[in-house]
Amino acid sequence: GESVGLHLPTLSVQEGDNSIINCAYSNSASDYFIWYKQESGKGPQFIIDIRSNMDKRQGQRVTVLLNKTVKHLSLQIAATQPGDSAVYFCAALYSTLTFGKGTMLLVSP
């Protein structure tokens, strides 16, 4: 079956640093990927998505990079702020969205 996984369960950064959260997927059949942010006790919120015909997509302070050759996805957050502290999930679309386990981003002032 398909699987989606994140490399690190926790990432600690200083305020103002750039953060990079990585994700790998097992099945190259997916042509759509999405990143969510989940704050404690809340539902996930959409951050950014990317289709497989793209290598890079930028949003406000966030960039998603897709490397289809090695089946790797990353989320870059520029100038990380304390409000960015949350769990970040990647997901790949197969018959439905398959989610990774999440990386907790901890931002210290």
Partner 1 sequence: DGGITQSPKYLFRKEGQNVTLSCEQNLNHDAMYWYRQDPGQGLRLIYYSQIVNDFQKGDIAEGYSVSREKKESFPLTVTSAQKNPTAFYLCASSTIAGEPSYEQYFGPGTRLTVT
Residues forming the site for partner 1 (CB under 8 A)? 4, 9, 32, 34, 36, 41-46, 49, 89, 93, 96-97, 99-102
Q: Which is nearer to partner 1, 4 or 107 (CB)?
A: 4
Minimum CB–partner distance for residue 49 and partner 1 (Å): 5
Q: Which is nearer to partner 1, 15 or 94 (CB)?
A: 94
Q: Are the CB atoms for 1 and 97 separated by under 8 Å? A: no
Minimum CB–partner distance for residue 109 and partner 1 (Å): 25
Task: Give Cα separations from 30 to 2, 35, 37, 60, 85 (angstroms).
Answer: 9, 14, 21, 25, 28
CA dist., res. 27 & res. 49, Å (int): 18
Q: Which is nearer to partner 1, 38 or 63 (CB)?
A: 38
